[in-house]
Amino acid sequence: MKKTLTRALLACLLVLTMVLACGCNNASDPTDPPASNWKVTFYESDGTTVLQEVEVANGETVTAPELTKDGYIIEGYYATPALMVEFDFTQAITEDTAVFVAWQSSVVDERPWMLAGSLAGYPDNNWGKKWPQDDYLLQPVEGEFNTFAIEVNLYAGDAFKIAVIGEGYVWDNNNSIDAGHLANKTETAVLCSGENAFDSGANIQVLEDGKYRLILKTDAETLSLCKLSYERLGDADPKPVLDITYDMKLWASFNDWAGQDMLRNGEDLIWYCEADVPAEGGEFGVKNAATGDWYSSEGNSKNIVLEEGHYMFFIELELVDGQPQLKGEIVAAEPAYYVVGTCGNAAWAADVNADNTAYKMTEQDGKYVLTVTFTEDEIVDWADNKVAFKVAYGCGGRVANEFWWGAEGGANITVDPGTYTITLDPAAGTVTVE
């Protein structure tokens, strides 16, 4: 009986041992890699249409399949359907993976793509007005389909586009590569600028001097598929010393982008003019027609928008490293006649603004009149304890030299504190005080 019991116990122990052994052998080791293959799915850029599925062993790489589509060739493979991040075919596949295929037209692009801009190293370019344009044409890259390139010196402050431009400076606006086509869209990108740098229509801004290779990959039928990338090859050549000439013009939708002459304020780098903006409004910038330099807003990348009205425009430049740059902002405001001097804020030209209503003159029969009371607070020692003033015409704190009127010979008018009626006759150039 004991032998039978012992044998039974031994048998149970043997079975239990085998069960435990089997359990241990079947347990997964978390350090062991999966033995299964992974599925790599190649999609159309819509993210849903499957072009091909490939099985890849864990940790191996995938090879791009041979795909065809009538009238198209493959432009590239991307990690997202937005087609912004290129897929890395050197990466190990460790999970099911999606790859998105971008197609481009198989039509050969024979258009003459030209660099056009305000370029310190190439002032004769003048936004594409250089003709013939051979010096600024992007050249086909050997062995690359519909790929063009050019090497140029670019300097901080330059702005450009790449466009198809015909003889007579005729831009094909439907074939223009702006900041929205930049492929290098990073925070450290040196060819971009401002919060609207990648908006459609924005000029490409240069933030860092250098010698660059610009590479344009085009689609002959779809402009949105055209991408501009760049390589910084090294330091730029020394910037040429220019004999600067000025031909400043108001360039606006309300003058059909033909340019209106601006007058220079003496020898200062200040120019001004007046113009009417129609009921539908308009937009403008200022252009130095002699060099092609463009001045507006947001790093000179955006036109300034105006509502209907009569405006006076002022622009001031300053020389930085021998190059003219915009100083402050372009002034565009409704002009008016003001009494300015030691009165009011005692700010003289700065008081020529819409906030200075107490000293703004009103029109009466072709003359301009103001009745005003000067106080003791407005007298100054240097004017023998009198109030000193002139009449000025301008806006936004700006007055051109020719728009000051005072006493005979151009001197200040001085009066004791009191109430006066001041009248300007612009035709005669005289100011009377009663």
Residue with the larger pLDDT of the pair 389 and 29: 389
Residues 268 and 352 placed together within one structural domain of the fold: no
What is residue 80's three-state secondary structure? Answer: coil
170: CATH: 2.60.40.3620
What is residue 426's three-state secondary structure? Answer: coil
The mean predicted confidence, pLDDT, of the chain is 87
On whether the CB atoms of residues 387 and 378 are closer than 8 A, the answer is: yes
Which amino acid, 59? G
Name the pLDDT band for 18 (thresholds 50, 70, 90): very low
On whether the CB atoms of residues 62 and 6 are closer than 8 A, the answer is: no
Residues 266 and 315 placed together within one structural domain of the fold: yes
What is residue 115's three-state secondary structure? Answer: strand
145, part of any domain: yes
At 5 the pLDDT is 43
On whether the CB atoms of residues 333 and 354 are closer than 8 A, the answer is: yes
Domain boundary (105, 130, 161) is at 105
At 129 the pLDDT is 82
Residues 194 and 254 placed together within one structural domain of the fold: no
Residues 412 and 361 placed together within one structural domain of the fold: yes
Q: What are phi and psi of 217, to 5 degrees?
A: -105, 120
Q: Return the beta strands (E) in 58-203 as ranges.
A: 72-78, 97-105, 113-118, 139-140, 147-154, 159-166, 170-177
At 34 the pLDDT is 54
pLDDT digits (tens, 9 = 90+) for 265-294: 999 999 999 999 999 999 999 999 988 889
State what percent of residues in the chain have pLDDT above 70: 89
Does residue 407 register a pLDDT over 70? yes
97, part of any domain: yes
At 10 the pLDDT is 45
The model's pTM is 0.53
Range in 25-29, 78-82, 85-89, 217-221 with the lowest mean pLDDT? 25-29
27, part of any domain: no
318, part of any domain: yes
Domain boundary (287, 303, 332) is at 332
Residues 120 and 78 placed together within one structural domain of the fold: no
At 197 the pLDDT is 45
Residues 203 and 125 placed together within one structural domain of the fold: yes
Q: What is each CA distance from 25 to 13, 17, 18, 21, 91, in whole angstroms?
A: 18, 12, 10, 6, 33
Name the pLDDT band for 23 (thresholds 50, 70, 90): very low
Residues 92 and 150 placed together within one structural domain of the fold: no
Radius of gyration of the chain (CA): 36
Q: What is each CA distance from 219 to 67, 74, 230, in whole angstroms?
A: 19, 11, 18
Residues 6+ apart with CB under 8 A from 266: 401
Instruction: Please tell me the distance from the alpha carbon of residue 329 to that of residue 326, in angstroms, as a whole number.
Output: 7
Residue with the larger pLDDT of the pair 422 and 172: 422
At 373 the pLDDT is 97
Residues 341 and 400 placed together within one structural domain of the fold: yes
32, part of any domain: no
Which residues sit opposite 242 in a β-bridge?
none
Domain boundary (332, 361, 384) is at 332
* Overall number of domains in the chain: 4
User: Average pLDDT for residues 239-263, to the nearest whole number?
Assistant: 91
Residues 70 and 137 placed together within one structural domain of the fold: no
354, part of any domain: yes
63, part of any domain: yes
Residues 97 and 165 placed together within one structural domain of the fold: no
Which amino acid, 385? N
Residues 412 and 307 placed together within one structural domain of the fold: no
Range of the domain at 156: 113-234
Helices and strands (DSSP H and E) totals, the chain: 1, 30
Q: Which two tokens stand for residue 134?
A: 């051979």
6, part of any domain: no
Residues 342 and 324 placed together within one structural domain of the fold: no
Q: Which two tokens stand for residue 368?
A: 């301009």
Name the pLDDT band for 342 (thresholds 50, 70, 90): very high
On whether the CB atoms of residues 159 and 326 are closer than 8 A, the answer is: no
422: CATH: 2.60.40.10
